[in-house]
Every structure is written in C-alpha cells, then in structure tokens.
Amino acid sequence: MKFRNIIFDCDSTLTTIEGLDEIARRKGMLEQVEVITQQGMDGEISYKISFQKRWLEIVRPTKEDLQWLGEFYIKNLTPGVAEVIARLKSEEINIFILSHVPELSIKILADYLDLPKENVFAVPIEFNQDSVMSVPEAFLEIIDNFKDRITREICTDGPTVMVGDGMTDYEAGKYADLFIGFGGVAIRPKLKKLCQFYIEEPRLQPVVDIVL
C-alpha cells in the first residue's frame, strides 16, 4: 500500500522524553505528577481528569516553561528522526504530529523539523495575566477522544500510518490503515502484545522500512 499520510506522537516517539515530566522535574513537582499519571494508567481516572490535575492544577506551566520544553524536545530527539523525516518527505508523504502536549511546545519542535504548523495537532492554550497556561473548556470536553478525532480526519485524505508509544496512540491508530508501536524509548508490554509491528530499537529508522 502506498501511504499518503503518517502521524507521529511526540513524547517517547519523536523525542526521548515525556514533556510534562520534564517541566514537573524542573519545578520540583515530578513526584506529585507521577501519582496522578499512575492513577490514569490504572484506569482509576479519565484522561481528562488526569490532564486537568497534572497540567492545570499541579504544574501550571508558564509560557516560558512551554518555550523551554520546545527547545528541550529538540535537544532530545529520538535517533534517526531527521533522516526519517527527510526520507518520508522525499516520498511525498504528509507528516503530522499529534500530541496531548500544549501546542506551543510542539510547534517549536515542528518548526525545527521543517514541518508545516498546520500539520501540528496538539492542545490549544491561552495564558492569563501571570503567563500561566489555561485550556479552553470546549477542548477539555473532547480531550478523551482528541487523538481519535484527528486521526479519522487525516485518514479521509488517503491511506494513513499512525506511530506512537502509548495506548491512546493505539486506540487512535485503529482508525488508520496501519499502526506502528514504538518501544525504542520505553517498552510498554501491554501495547507490545497488541501490535502487529512493534519497534524496540532505540531509533526511528525502522519506521521507514515498514512504511516503504
């Protein structure tokens, strides 16, 4: 199959870090965040509640924090990202980033990778008078299905591949023509069992071998 589109998750896929954890570590809040993250992974709370508690109640990142994170992503790219992006572009495949991270940070990364900003789908944000991030309530109402919605939309344009490391990526990938699990940063045993294609090498090049 000739693919027209490829969608990448950001954290632990295009980059070797988890963005929220890095901001929380920088602000001395990582332990608090990890408790909520685990509750979400255990199914005790919805993703919406997990997002609100971690991003909006505990960490409360400023514009400066998110700009810092965008630059930190660039310093922590997964090996092979630049080569993979270049090869996919040479095959005229549209490249998208789909992430639950605030869009300011993701757009800094996308700009570095020379991807159009309109191909970035991330969390829309606003800032209050203290430069602290907030998220429109309308978006929070759909955040649990955000990745699914965007993947379905992109798929209407042609055969599509989804690449990601987590279960939200896998669920969204059900709407794509192919899902590739990426365990090159962190192996998720539950996800690995579900995937036809699962990359454990700590580099992104195998994506090209699968897609092309």
42 Cβ neighbours under 8 A, 6+ residues apart:
none
Residue 58 pLDDT > 80: yes
Average pLDDT taken over every residue of the chain: 96
**Rounded distance, CA 205 to CA 85, Å?**
10
Coil, strand or helix at 147: helix
Residue 41 pLDDT > 80: no
**Rounded distance, CA 100 to CA 103, Å?**
8
List pLDDT tens digits, range 94-141: 999 999 999 999 999 999 999 999 999 999 999 999 999 999 999 999
First to last CA, the chain: 9
CA distances from 81 to 1, 13, 67, 125 (A): 23, 9, 21, 27
**Rounded distance, CA 192 to CA 180, Å?**
10
* pLDDT classification of 93: cutoffs 50, 70, 90: very high
**Rounded distance, CA 97 to CA 34, Å?**
24
List pLDDT tens digits, range 70-79: 999 999 999 9
Identify the DSSP state of 15: B
Q: What is the pTM of this model?
A: 0.96
Residue 14 pLDDT > 80: yes
